[in-house]
A and B are shown apart, each in its own frame.
Chain A
Amino acid sequence: MKYLREFQDSRITKSLRDKIFRVSGDLPFAVRIMEVCGTHTMNIGKHGLREIIPDNVSLISGPGCPVCVTGEKYIDSAVNLAEREDVIIATFGDMLKVPGAGGRSLKEYPSGKVLTVYSPMDALKAAVENPSRKVVFLGVGFETTAPLAGRVVQAAKEEGLVNFFCFSAHKLIPPALKVLAEDEESDINGFLLPGHVSSVIGVRGYDDLNIAGAVAGFEPADILMGILEILKQIRVREKKVKNCYRRAVSSEGNSFMKAVIKDVFEVVPVLWRGLGKIPSSGLKIGKKYEKYDAQKMLNIPDVDSPGETKNNCCLCGEVLKGKIRPDECSLFDSVCTLENPSGPCMVSSEGACSAYYRYER
């Protein structure tokens, strides 16, 4: 891409950094900015951005990794499904190593039983190729990913497949932001908003929120531009969401993707690891496509009832709310490592603990 390299240009990032120092110098207090996207989390660590910004600006990782916010009961149900002889699980690779409440995970199963897929389309293909088995796609992801699973459910119906199911744990970002913005303990002053979720929902997707925020891309200049914009808003006590990723985000988002979400899913309250149950924050398969709803057709018990079991003192929940840094968890780098993770924030390559372990230890 012709212009991509320029967003990594050190002259540009240096001038952005100088501006950030100037604006933050005007602020009489410390500022906490939360990023809500795993790719931001990874790139902030990878490019060492935390080191180059002023001391009074903290970058906090929020619930931006879908695997990390998936509840233990969902993982347990997925493992139980894998136990069934007639079932093949199809999932993104990030889900494999996450332990459920009982400590079990999907990585225990052979690849013919638990299929790692790159795209939900691959899950559909597996259903065509294995007519005698039930193929269950683990639908984990935010607004960026849900329409893909939705499109595949539509395709399954169009093709008359009877052995493809989606176990949907898809979640919506704006309702979680609302909870975090109102949580006094998290104490967040501004939000770096996820670029590719925003490609789908558009800047207007945040209309109902009263937050200082910037939609940002993923190159160093994109992220610094977002931080600068948020600091400028805080300086004048303004709260609005500004688009700093115009090359990939429009005001209204992608209408085709939004239409698929509306057609296939129903908006329901769901449980987020660490954040608890959040109203209107999840997507379950709607009535029109109920034949493809794994929960209904394969009798999976409710995975969104409160009462999370605490897995061996893992503090992923506190990390996800921005209440502690990954290295403030007693398991970090002692019991919990990249090779042997205890919780989802270390398992997922874009989890806060994993990024911290790799880049900022």
Chain B
Amino acid sequence: MCLAVPVKIVSLDKKKKTGVGEIGGLKREVRLDFLPDVHPGDYVLMHAGFGIEKIKAEEAKETLELLKEMERL
């Protein structure tokens, strides 16, 4: 039930605290009450219509580098 899916934010309506998110080619409204610092192009995790966390691409990259490093050991 805590399922959350990554959506790409394509536009924002700051006044309404919403954005339009793209997921698998489909567009849908995402509430951004909990993520005031999101910009178009960011990926957020969406849970039941609300963005709950911004996905940090830098961290994803670092984790993967660490895992690839481990592969060589």
Contact = CB atoms under 8 A, between A and B. Distances in A.
B39 interface: no
Contacts of A256: 33-36
A182 B50 CA distance: 35
A contact patch SS: helix
Contact of B55 (A66, A118, A247, A260): A247
B contact patch SS: mixed
B2 A194 contact: yes
Given A200-B52, A246-B62, A38 B70 contact: no
Contact of A246 (B31, B35, B49, B63): B63
B1 A67 contact: yes
Contacts of A197: 2
A2 B57 CA distance: 8
Most buried by A among B1, B35, B48, B57: B1
Given A38-B1, A66-B1, A257-B34, A145 B48 contact: yes
A260 B31 CA distance: 14
Contact of B2 (A1, A37, A249): A37
B67 A248 contact: no
Interface of B: 1-4, 6, 8, 31, 33-36, 43, 45, 47-50, 52-53, 55-57, 59-64, 67-68, 70-71
Contacts of A113: none
B62 to A, nearest CB: 7
Contacts of B31: 119, 121, 151
Nearest to B8: A1
A7 B61 CA distance: 10
Most buried by B among A140, A147, A195, A247: A247
A61 B62 CA distance: 30
Interface residues of A, number: 51
Interface of A: 1-4, 6-7, 11-12, 15-16, 19, 37-39, 65-67, 92, 94, 118-122, 140-142, 144-145, 147-148, 151, 194-197, 199-200, 221, 225, 244, 246-249, 254, 256-257, 260, 348, 350
Given A3-B64, A147-B34, A196-B47, A246 B2 contact: no
Contacts of A148: 47-50
A275 B3 CA distance: 23
14 contacts: A1-B6, A1-B60, A2-B60, A12-B71, A119-B49, A121-B49, A140-B1, A141-B2, A144-B52, A195-B2, A196-B45, A246-B56, A247-B59, A257-B52
